[in-house]
Amino acid sequence: MKTASFSPTGIRFENIDKRYGALYALRRVSLEIPAGECVAFAGRNGSGKTTLLRIAARLARLSSGAVNFLDESGEKLATPPGAGFVAHATMVYDELTAEENLLLFARLQGIDQPAARAEALLGEVGLLERRNSLVRTFSRGMRQRVAIARALLSEPPVVLLDEPTTGLDPQGARWFAQTVRQLRDSGRTILMSLHGESEVSTLATRAIRLDAGAVVADTQTGANFRSILAFTNA
């Protein structure tokens, strides 16, 4: 990924709760993630990782608490920037070509020169030659490349990755890890939910474990770091 024009941005979760009826998906979660940090969330299925990321993307509404985006000095931003979101689901249309998908979302986001931006991103994710192929003809790895390109259309300072490597073959996972490394090195803030250790998890600069919607471990260094990332459903 090329170095893009964005302002480094952090996120602060202030005592957030998310309830579905009587069930707590997140319970009093407070975290401050400075600009440029690469955070890996680990935990069992249902521990609240996806909910936390969807709240950061403003796709899910909070039951209580607040989420604020911060500038480099930690001050709250008046206008929150858009976050790039990549999930296990590709969030692109199978019946459109790779280029049509990027043009659609670029136009919706009001991006200047959408065709040029789409072409540049297709080149960066290595799909320029398949730009006119329908996404439904793509492999899982290629679809995930389109998903990454879609998420980066507006050059977001914050990138949210929700189990993005699920279903990828080793080659696809390696490409993905390389892309995350480039995103991290470009100064973007990255929040990713992962299942167990992988090439992507080694890029994290901070590891947080969630259990039953609460933060139970949060570390940047030490032996605990690896044990959090190695955490699986077992």
Partner 1 sequence: MALLSNTAVLLGKELRTEFRSRELLTTTVVFILTIVVLFSFTFDPSVNESRRFGPGLLWLAFLFAASLMLQPCFLREQTNDTLSALRLSVNDPFAIFLAKLAANTLFMLFTQILLLPVFSILYNVPVLAAFPQLVLVMFMGSLGLSVTGTALSAISAQARMRELLLPLLLLPLLTPVLIASTEATASLLVLNPIMPWKWLGFLLGFDVVFLTALWLFGEYLLEE
Chain contacts with partner 1 (rule: CB under 8 A): 54, 57-61, 82-83, 85, 87, 89-96, 100, 104-105, 107-110, 150
CB of 108 to partner 1, least distance (A): 4
Question: Among residues 95 and 221, whose Cβ is nearest to partner 1?
Answer: 95
CB of 198 to partner 1, least distance (A): 22
Amino acid occupying residue 45: N
H-helix or E-strand spanning residue 66: strand 64-70
Reading the block at residue 3, the tokens are 């170095």
**Which ranges constitute the DSSP H helices of the chain?**
49-56, 98-108, 114-124, 140-151, 170-185, 223-229
Distance CA 104, CA 193 (A): 27
CB of 8 to partner 1, least distance (A): 20
Torsion of CA 18, 19, 24, 25, to 10 degrees: -50
Distance CA 69, CA 79 (A): 8
Question: Among residues 53 and 229, whose Cβ is nearest to partner 1?
Answer: 53
Instruction: Encode 157-220 in three state secondary structure.
Output: CEEEEECCCCCCCHHHHHHHHHHHHHHHHCCCEEEEECCCCCCCHHHCCEEEEEECCEEEEEEC
CB of 163 to partner 1, least distance (A): 12
Q: What is the DSSP letter of 76?
A: B
Question: Among residues 40 and 146, whose Cβ is nearest to partner 1?
Answer: 146
Question: Among residues 55 and 194, whose Cβ is nearest to partner 1?
Answer: 55
Question: Among residues 69 and 85, whose Cβ is nearest to partner 1?
Answer: 85
Question: Among residues 18 and 184, whose Cβ is nearest to partner 1?
Answer: 18
CB of 88 to partner 1, least distance (A): 9
SS3 156: coil
CB of 230 to partner 1, least distance (A): 28
Distances (CA, A) of 192 to 39, 100, 148: 6, 27, 13
Question: Among residues 61 and 221, whose Cβ is nearest to partner 1?
Answer: 61
